[in-house]
Amino acid sequence: MKSIYPRLVLYLDLVRWNRPAGWLLLLWPTLSALWIAANGFPGWHLLSVFTLGTILMRSAGCCFNDVADREFDRHVKRTQARPVTTGAVSVKEALLLGAVLALLAFALVLSTNAATIGWSFAALAIALIYPYAKRFFAMPQAVLGVAFSFGIPMAFSAVQATVPLLAWVLLLGNLFWVLAYDTEYAMVDRDDDLAIGMKTSAITLGQWDVPAVMLSYLVYLVVWDVALMPYAQGTWSYLAFTLAFGQVAWHYTLIRDRSRAGCFRAFRLNHWLGFTLFAGIAASYALK
Protein backbone atom coordinates (compact mmCIF):
# COMPACT_ATOMS: atom_id res chain seq x y z
CA MET A 1 0.00 0.00 0.00
CA LYS A 2 2.87 2.38 0.79
CA SER A 3 4.17 2.02 -2.76
CA ILE A 4 0.74 2.44 -4.36
CA TYR A 5 -0.30 5.58 -2.47
CA PRO A 6 2.41 7.91 -3.88
CA ARG A 7 1.53 6.83 -7.45
CA LEU A 8 -2.15 7.42 -6.76
CA VAL A 9 -1.39 10.93 -5.52
CA LEU A 10 0.55 11.64 -8.72
CA TYR A 11 -2.23 10.30 -10.91
CA LEU A 12 -4.83 12.41 -9.09
CA ASP A 13 -2.59 15.44 -9.58
CA LEU A 14 -2.26 14.57 -13.27
CA VAL A 15 -6.03 14.56 -13.78
CA ARG A 16 -6.44 17.77 -11.67
CA TRP A 17 -8.68 16.00 -9.18
CA ASN A 18 -8.23 18.80 -6.65
CA ARG A 19 -9.24 21.40 -9.27
CA PRO A 20 -12.84 20.56 -10.22
CA ALA A 21 -13.43 23.86 -12.02
CA GLY A 22 -12.34 22.23 -15.29
CA TRP A 23 -14.96 19.50 -15.36
CA LEU A 24 -17.63 21.80 -13.95
CA LEU A 25 -17.13 24.07 -16.99
CA LEU A 26 -17.96 21.04 -19.14
CA LEU A 27 -20.75 19.75 -16.94
CA TRP A 28 -23.15 22.69 -16.61
CA PRO A 29 -23.84 23.31 -20.33
CA THR A 30 -24.15 19.55 -20.85
CA LEU A 31 -26.72 19.21 -18.07
CA SER A 32 -28.54 22.29 -19.34
CA ALA A 33 -28.82 20.61 -22.74
CA LEU A 34 -30.07 17.38 -21.11
CA TRP A 35 -32.86 19.25 -19.30
CA ILE A 36 -33.87 21.13 -22.44
CA ALA A 37 -33.81 18.01 -24.63
CA ALA A 38 -35.88 16.05 -22.09
CA ASN A 39 -38.23 18.95 -21.36
CA GLY A 40 -37.28 18.63 -17.70
CA PHE A 41 -35.52 16.06 -15.52
CA PRO A 42 -33.87 13.54 -17.91
CA GLY A 43 -33.86 10.59 -15.52
CA TRP A 44 -31.15 9.20 -13.28
CA HIS A 45 -29.59 7.03 -15.96
CA LEU A 46 -28.72 9.85 -18.37
CA LEU A 47 -27.86 12.19 -15.51
CA SER A 48 -25.34 9.65 -14.21
CA VAL A 49 -23.94 8.84 -17.66
CA PHE A 50 -23.25 12.46 -18.56
CA THR A 51 -22.00 13.51 -15.13
CA LEU A 52 -19.55 10.62 -14.77
CA GLY A 53 -18.66 10.74 -18.46
CA THR A 54 -17.82 14.43 -18.23
CA ILE A 55 -15.51 13.88 -15.26
CA LEU A 56 -13.80 10.90 -16.92
CA MET A 57 -13.27 12.62 -20.28
CA ARG A 58 -11.96 15.81 -18.72
CA SER A 59 -9.52 13.70 -16.71
CA ALA A 60 -8.46 11.79 -19.82
CA GLY A 61 -8.02 15.08 -21.66
CA CYS A 62 -5.64 16.31 -18.95
CA CYS A 63 -3.48 13.22 -19.48
CA PHE A 64 -3.29 13.65 -23.25
CA ASN A 65 -2.81 17.42 -23.02
CA ASP A 66 0.07 17.13 -20.54
CA VAL A 67 1.85 14.61 -22.75
CA ALA A 68 1.47 16.84 -25.81
CA ASP A 69 2.60 19.98 -23.94
CA ARG A 70 5.31 18.49 -21.73
CA GLU A 71 8.17 20.32 -23.47
CA PHE A 72 6.32 23.65 -23.41
CA ASP A 73 5.01 23.31 -19.84
CA ARG A 74 8.49 23.29 -18.32
CA HIS A 75 8.91 26.92 -19.46
CA VAL A 76 5.59 28.15 -18.02
CA LYS A 77 5.46 29.12 -14.34
CA ARG A 78 1.98 27.74 -13.79
CA THR A 79 2.62 24.34 -15.38
CA GLN A 80 6.27 23.51 -14.80
CA ALA A 81 5.49 21.30 -11.77
CA ARG A 82 2.99 19.02 -13.57
CA PRO A 83 3.77 15.30 -13.09
CA VAL A 84 4.53 14.53 -16.75
CA THR A 85 6.62 17.68 -17.16
CA THR A 86 8.79 16.86 -14.13
CA GLY A 87 9.08 13.20 -15.14
CA ALA A 88 7.33 11.97 -11.98
CA VAL A 89 4.81 10.28 -14.30
CA SER A 90 6.13 8.81 -17.55
CA VAL A 91 4.61 9.52 -20.95
CA LYS A 92 3.61 5.85 -21.22
CA GLU A 93 1.88 5.95 -17.83
CA ALA A 94 -0.01 9.15 -18.68
CA LEU A 95 -1.18 7.82 -22.04
CA LEU A 96 -2.25 4.53 -20.50
CA LEU A 97 -4.19 6.29 -17.75
CA GLY A 98 -5.82 8.60 -20.30
CA ALA A 99 -6.82 5.63 -22.46
CA VAL A 100 -8.34 3.77 -19.51
CA LEU A 101 -10.36 6.83 -18.47
CA ALA A 102 -11.57 7.39 -22.04
CA LEU A 103 -12.60 3.74 -22.34
CA LEU A 104 -14.55 3.98 -19.10
CA ALA A 105 -16.35 7.04 -20.47
CA PHE A 106 -17.05 5.16 -23.71
CA ALA A 107 -18.50 2.26 -21.70
CA LEU A 108 -21.00 4.72 -20.24
CA VAL A 109 -21.91 6.00 -23.71
CA LEU A 110 -22.59 2.42 -24.82
CA SER A 111 -25.59 2.44 -22.46
CA THR A 112 -27.29 5.20 -24.50
CA ASN A 113 -28.06 4.80 -28.21
CA ALA A 114 -26.33 4.34 -31.56
CA ALA A 115 -26.50 8.02 -32.51
CA THR A 116 -24.81 9.13 -29.30
CA ILE A 117 -22.15 6.44 -29.67
CA GLY A 118 -21.38 7.80 -33.12
CA TRP A 119 -21.10 11.38 -31.89
CA SER A 120 -18.75 10.26 -29.11
CA PHE A 121 -16.07 9.44 -31.70
CA ALA A 122 -16.26 12.98 -33.08
CA ALA A 123 -15.99 14.36 -29.54
CA LEU A 124 -12.88 12.25 -28.86
CA ALA A 125 -11.25 13.33 -32.12
CA ILE A 126 -11.71 17.02 -31.34
CA ALA A 127 -10.38 16.51 -27.80
CA LEU A 128 -7.22 14.88 -29.20
CA ILE A 129 -6.72 17.60 -31.80
CA TYR A 130 -6.90 20.52 -29.36
CA PRO A 131 -3.44 20.19 -27.71
CA TYR A 132 -1.81 20.53 -31.12
CA ALA A 133 -4.00 23.45 -32.23
CA LYS A 134 -1.90 25.70 -29.98
CA ARG A 135 1.03 25.15 -32.33
CA PHE A 136 -0.72 26.12 -35.57
CA PHE A 137 -3.84 28.26 -34.98
CA ALA A 138 -3.90 31.88 -33.83
CA MET A 139 -7.07 31.22 -31.82
CA PRO A 140 -6.78 27.65 -30.47
CA GLN A 141 -9.40 28.55 -27.86
CA ALA A 142 -11.98 28.23 -30.65
CA VAL A 143 -11.01 24.56 -31.07
CA LEU A 144 -11.30 24.09 -27.32
CA GLY A 145 -14.69 25.76 -27.55
CA VAL A 146 -15.95 23.02 -29.86
CA ALA A 147 -14.41 20.30 -27.67
CA PHE A 148 -15.87 21.72 -24.46
CA SER A 149 -19.30 22.20 -26.05
CA PHE A 150 -19.74 18.79 -27.62
CA GLY A 151 -21.64 17.46 -24.65
CA ILE A 152 -24.56 19.59 -25.87
CA PRO A 153 -25.32 17.73 -29.14
CA MET A 154 -24.54 14.42 -27.41
CA ALA A 155 -27.10 15.21 -24.70
CA PHE A 156 -29.78 15.92 -27.29
CA SER A 157 -28.81 12.78 -29.16
CA ALA A 158 -29.08 10.65 -26.03
CA VAL A 159 -32.58 11.94 -25.28
CA GLN A 160 -34.04 12.38 -28.76
CA ALA A 161 -31.81 10.13 -30.94
CA THR A 162 -31.24 13.16 -33.15
CA VAL A 163 -29.45 16.52 -32.94
CA PRO A 164 -31.82 19.41 -33.74
CA LEU A 165 -30.82 22.89 -34.85
CA LEU A 166 -31.32 24.15 -31.29
CA ALA A 167 -28.41 21.98 -30.10
CA TRP A 168 -26.04 23.51 -32.66
CA VAL A 169 -27.17 27.03 -31.79
CA LEU A 170 -26.49 26.34 -28.11
CA LEU A 171 -23.10 24.85 -29.04
CA LEU A 172 -22.24 28.01 -30.96
CA GLY A 173 -23.22 30.20 -28.02
CA ASN A 174 -21.29 28.02 -25.60
CA LEU A 175 -18.22 28.24 -27.83
CA PHE A 176 -18.12 31.97 -27.13
CA TRP A 177 -18.26 31.29 -23.39
CA VAL A 178 -15.26 28.96 -23.71
CA LEU A 179 -13.48 31.60 -25.78
CA ALA A 180 -14.12 34.12 -23.00
CA TYR A 181 -12.90 32.07 -20.06
CA ASP A 182 -10.01 30.37 -21.84
CA THR A 183 -8.75 33.75 -23.03
CA GLU A 184 -8.75 34.81 -19.38
CA TYR A 185 -6.74 31.66 -18.71
CA ALA A 186 -4.33 32.47 -21.55
CA MET A 187 -3.86 36.01 -20.21
CA VAL A 188 -2.28 34.45 -17.11
CA ASP A 189 0.45 32.79 -19.19
CA ARG A 190 0.86 35.42 -21.91
CA ASP A 191 4.46 36.36 -21.08
CA ASP A 192 5.58 32.72 -20.90
CA ASP A 193 3.70 31.77 -24.07
CA LEU A 194 5.29 34.64 -25.99
CA ALA A 195 8.73 33.46 -24.91
CA ILE A 196 8.20 29.88 -26.11
CA GLY A 197 6.27 30.71 -29.28
CA MET A 198 2.90 29.27 -28.22
CA LYS A 199 -0.18 30.62 -30.01
CA THR A 200 -3.12 31.78 -27.85
CA SER A 201 -6.10 34.10 -28.18
CA ALA A 202 -4.58 36.40 -25.53
CA ILE A 203 -1.51 36.91 -27.72
CA THR A 204 -3.48 37.22 -30.96
CA LEU A 205 -5.93 39.75 -29.53
CA GLY A 206 -3.23 41.84 -27.86
CA GLN A 207 -4.64 45.07 -26.43
CA TRP A 208 -8.14 43.99 -27.49
CA ASP A 209 -8.14 40.97 -25.17
CA VAL A 210 -10.39 42.44 -22.47
CA PRO A 211 -12.98 43.87 -24.92
CA ALA A 212 -12.98 40.54 -26.80
CA VAL A 213 -13.56 38.59 -23.60
CA MET A 214 -16.47 40.80 -22.60
CA LEU A 215 -17.99 40.64 -26.11
CA SER A 216 -17.67 36.85 -26.08
CA TYR A 217 -19.52 36.67 -22.75
CA LEU A 218 -22.31 38.85 -24.13
CA VAL A 219 -22.64 36.80 -27.33
CA TYR A 220 -22.87 33.63 -25.24
CA LEU A 221 -25.60 34.96 -22.98
CA VAL A 222 -27.61 36.60 -25.76
CA VAL A 223 -27.52 33.49 -27.96
CA TRP A 224 -28.62 31.23 -25.12
CA ASP A 225 -31.25 33.69 -23.91
CA VAL A 226 -32.84 34.07 -27.35
CA ALA A 227 -32.55 30.38 -28.24
CA LEU A 228 -34.18 29.27 -24.97
CA MET A 229 -37.08 31.73 -24.96
CA PRO A 230 -39.57 29.12 -26.27
CA TYR A 231 -38.32 26.51 -23.76
CA ALA A 232 -37.05 27.81 -20.42
CA GLN A 233 -39.26 30.71 -19.39
CA GLY A 234 -40.49 32.18 -16.16
CA THR A 235 -39.16 34.00 -13.14
CA TRP A 236 -36.31 31.58 -12.41
CA SER A 237 -34.99 31.69 -15.96
CA TYR A 238 -35.12 35.50 -16.07
CA LEU A 239 -33.42 35.69 -12.66
CA ALA A 240 -30.67 33.31 -13.80
CA PHE A 241 -29.83 35.37 -16.87
CA THR A 242 -29.90 38.58 -14.82
CA LEU A 243 -27.46 37.08 -12.32
CA ALA A 244 -25.31 35.81 -15.20
CA PHE A 245 -25.01 39.30 -16.70
CA GLY A 246 -24.06 40.56 -13.23
CA GLN A 247 -21.29 37.96 -13.02
CA VAL A 248 -19.96 39.07 -16.39
CA ALA A 249 -19.75 42.65 -15.11
CA TRP A 250 -17.85 41.37 -12.06
CA HIS A 251 -15.42 39.50 -14.31
CA TYR A 252 -14.60 42.76 -16.04
CA THR A 253 -13.43 44.21 -12.72
CA LEU A 254 -11.17 41.17 -12.27
CA ILE A 255 -9.48 41.23 -15.68
CA ARG A 256 -9.45 44.90 -16.67
CA ASP A 257 -5.91 45.47 -15.32
CA ARG A 258 -4.71 42.13 -16.82
CA SER A 259 -3.04 41.00 -13.60
CA ARG A 260 -2.16 37.29 -13.39
CA ALA A 261 -4.05 36.88 -10.12
CA GLY A 262 -7.18 38.64 -11.38
CA CYS A 263 -7.32 36.77 -14.68
CA PHE A 264 -6.75 33.41 -13.01
CA ARG A 265 -9.43 34.11 -10.43
CA ALA A 266 -11.87 35.09 -13.17
CA PHE A 267 -11.16 31.86 -15.02
CA ARG A 268 -11.60 29.68 -11.94
CA LEU A 269 -14.93 31.31 -11.05
CA ASN A 270 -16.51 30.76 -14.47
CA HIS A 271 -18.19 27.53 -13.44
CA TRP A 272 -20.57 29.60 -11.29
CA LEU A 273 -21.78 31.32 -14.44
CA GLY A 274 -22.58 27.95 -16.02
CA PHE A 275 -24.22 26.74 -12.82
CA THR A 276 -26.39 29.86 -12.62
CA LEU A 277 -27.85 29.25 -16.08
CA PHE A 278 -28.33 25.54 -15.41
CA ALA A 279 -30.09 26.23 -12.13
CA GLY A 280 -32.41 28.72 -13.82
CA ILE A 281 -33.19 26.28 -16.65
CA ALA A 282 -33.83 23.34 -14.30
CA ALA A 283 -36.00 25.47 -11.99
CA SER A 284 -38.03 26.84 -14.90
CA TYR A 285 -38.99 23.27 -15.92
CA ALA A 286 -39.58 22.05 -12.37
CA LEU A 287 -41.92 24.94 -11.53
CA LYS A 288 -43.99 25.06 -14.73
- What is the band of 3 on the pLDDT scale with cuts at 50, 70, 90? low
- What is the band of 22 on the pLDDT scale with cuts at 50, 70, 90? confident
Question: Is residue 54 a contact partner of residue 30, using CB atoms and an 8 Å limit?
Answer: yes
User: For 230-242, what is each residue's pLDDT tens digit?
Assistant: 877 778 888 999 9
User: For 48-80, what is each residue's pLDDT tens digit?
Assistant: 999 999 999 999 999 988 888 787 777 777 777
User: For 245-285, what is each residue's pLDDT tens digit?
Assistant: 999 999 999 999 999 999 999 999 999 999 999 999 999 98
Q: Enter the pTM of the model.
A: 0.92
Cα–Cα distance, 95 to 83 (Å, whole number): 13
Give 165: exposed, middle or buried? Use CB within 10 Å, 0-12, 13-18, 19+: exposed
User: What residue spans define the domains of the chain?
Assistant: 4-286
Residue 211 confidence (pLDDT):
96
Percent of the chain with pLDDT over 90: 60
Assigned architecture for domain 4-286: Orthogonal Bundle (1.10)
